[in-house]
Amino acid sequence: MSIQTTSAAPALLERFNQIRKRTEIICNPLEPEDTVVQPIVDVSPPKWHMAHTSWFFEALILKPYLPGYEVFHPQYAYLFNSYYNSLGSRVLRHQRSTLTRPPLRDVLAYRKYVDEHVNRLLQELPAKDLEQFRPVLELGLQHEQQHQELLITDIKYIMGTNPMLPAYQPQAARKKQSIATPARFMEVPGGKYNIGYQGSGFCFDNELGVHEVQLEDFEIMNRLVTNGEYLEFMQDGGYGDFRHWLDEGFTLVKEQHLEAPLYWVKQDEEWHRFTLHGLEKVDLNEPVCHLSFYEADAFANWSGRRLLTEYEWEAASQAYPPQQGNFVESGLLEPAAADPAKEGVQQLFGDLWEWTYSAYHPYPGFSKAPGPIGEYNGKFMINQMVLRGGSCATPESHIRTTYRNFFHPDKRWQYTGIRLATKK
């Protein structure tokens, strides 16, 4: 990771407290029962997220750097380690839902205990000592933000697979009628582009290994693909026509009888979709979301266009600098329709993670850090695809032009969407 930030301890502490508090705000509307289940292996119980992010600070900051620190509970490291082999054995991922105990209130006490000790550490420590662990502390905050996004997607899955379809955040009249924005393809000139993080703030190790790439001219869609456009694909028999699909994707479609994005439900002959505010009619102008890479790619093939590579996406975001995005701070928790009044390329940031046709592999010159931090990203660099730009569940301060998110191509429970490219 790259950490050149040198903010003073007080500022850092305030940021720590704000971010930590935000996790609890997200979980506030939940019943204790909601916090313990794991309906699919991808989804972690909210209680687990809350404890795991605390364990991260305990294991990597408090234990090594706060003299005399005593762990909150001797078994929590075993219960709440996610995947760090360097940090000992742990509950297997698919067994996270067996952890009815510790109950929610104990986990909240654990958070409080960790927070108090981090506060003490930051308040009492001589300034120079902070430098020893500032990068890890920063990583802990970024990690917490990542889990905040996962919390939202996991809560959505927990609610959305309950036959009662309970709303996480009921909202009367979520928004006024949306307006259509015609699709246009905007030029991005070819040439040499620098890829990877070159700034002075935080970035993950997978963004390092800055390197030049050579691109040809291409064009990029001015906004995300909409529900209306995707519905055309569906109505044209898109899910039934092998010609549009990668072979493994088409096999999945048949095995799982897929015929629409995740959370879509047909009621009274009309398509609805489950949102965190309850069931809604599908809005044709909003971006289509909760798609697998396979669906995104099949749609692109059907449309005669293609997905971008992650290099093209990064180049385009250099050519069309980010506008205000729909991040988690908007409170919408769902993607919003594009704005017909806007010029240029919209929605590159926020709204939905955009599937690219790039495998999540190391950049040239990538190297893993020694110790547990080295297990953060590198060991997942196989069989996953890169997504770019953040979503309506991403904290605005968490995202960057060079940020590389990654999921297996069959995953649909994240806020994922489609942007098309085409040759000039």
Return the bridge partners of 361, or none: none
Nearby residues of 411 by Cβ (< 8 Å), 6 or more positions away? 42, 292, 293
- Stated as kind and residue range, the H or E segment containing 187 is strand 185-188
Cβ atoms 309, 338 nearer than 8 A: no
Rounded CA separation 18/20 (Å): 6
Per CB under 5 A, which region of 14-22, 76-84, 134-142, 150-158 contacts Fe ion? 76-84
Nearer to Fe ion, 148 or 227 (CB): 148
Using CB atoms within 10 Å of the CB of residue 33, give its burial: 0 to 12 exposed, 13 to 18 middle, 19+ buried.
Answer: exposed
Q: Which does 34 bind (CB under 5 to 8 A by kind): Fe ion, a second copy, none?
A: a second copy
Where does this chain bind a second copy (CB under 8 A)?
31-37, 39, 47, 75, 78-79, 83, 85-86, 91, 97-104, 158-159, 161-164, 166, 192, 211-214, 216, 242-243, 245-250, 293-294, 309, 357-359, 361-362, 364-365, 374, 379-383, 409, 423
Q: Which does 395 bind (CB under 5 to 8 A by kind): Fe ion, a second copy, none?
A: none
Q: Which does 100 bind (CB under 5 to 8 A by kind): Fe ion, a second copy, none?
A: a second copy
Nearer to Fe ion, 62 or 291 (CB): 62
Number of helical H runs and strand E runs in the chain = 10, 13
- Least distance from C-beta 264 to a second copy, angstroms? 19
- Least distance from C-beta 112 to Fe ion, angstroms? 20
Per CB under 5 A, which region of 22-30, 78-86, 326-334, 380-388 contacts Fe ion? 78-86
- Least distance from C-beta 207 to a second copy, angstroms? 17
- Stated as kind and residue range, the H or E segment containing 48 is helix 46-57
Nearer to a second copy, 16 or 55 (CB): 55
82 part of the interface to Fe ion, by CB under 5 A: yes
Q: Which does 103 bind (CB under 5 to 8 A by kind): a second copy, Fe ion, none?
A: a second copy
Could you tell me which of 405, 420, 403, 418 has the C-alpha nearest to residue 306?
Answer: 420
Indicate the Cα dihedral angle 199, 377, 398, 155, nearest 10°. Answer: 170
Longest alpha-carbon distance in the chain: 66
Return the bridge partners of 275, or none: 278
- Six token digits for residue 342: 């806007």
Q: Which does 82 bind (CB under 5 to 8 A by kind): Fe ion, a second copy, none?
A: Fe ion
Nearer to Fe ion, 54 or 292 (CB): 54
The strand pair at 185-188 and 385-388 is best described as: unpaired
Q: Which does 164 bind (CB under 5 to 8 A by kind): Fe ion, a second copy, none?
A: a second copy
- Least distance from C-beta 126 to a second copy, angstroms? 34
81 part of the interface to Fe ion, by CB under 5 A: no
Nearer to a second copy, 16 or 197 (CB): 197
Using CB atoms within 10 Å of the CB of residue 186, give its burial: 0 to 12 exposed, 13 to 18 middle, 19+ buried.
Answer: middle
- Least distance from C-beta 154 to Fe ion, angstroms? 12
Nearer to a second copy, 43 or 114 (CB): 43
**Cα distances (angstroms) measured from residue 213 to each of 190, 292, 310, 311:** 10, 27, 11, 8
Nearer to a second copy, 65 or 185 (CB): 185
Nearest residue to Fe ion by CB is 82
Nearer to Fe ion, 52 or 244 (CB): 52
Nearby residues of 255 by Cβ (< 8 Å), 6 or more positions away? none
Q: Which does 249 bind (CB under 5 to 8 A by kind): Fe ion, a second copy, none?
A: a second copy
Where along the sequence are the contacts to Fe ion (CB under 5 A)?
82
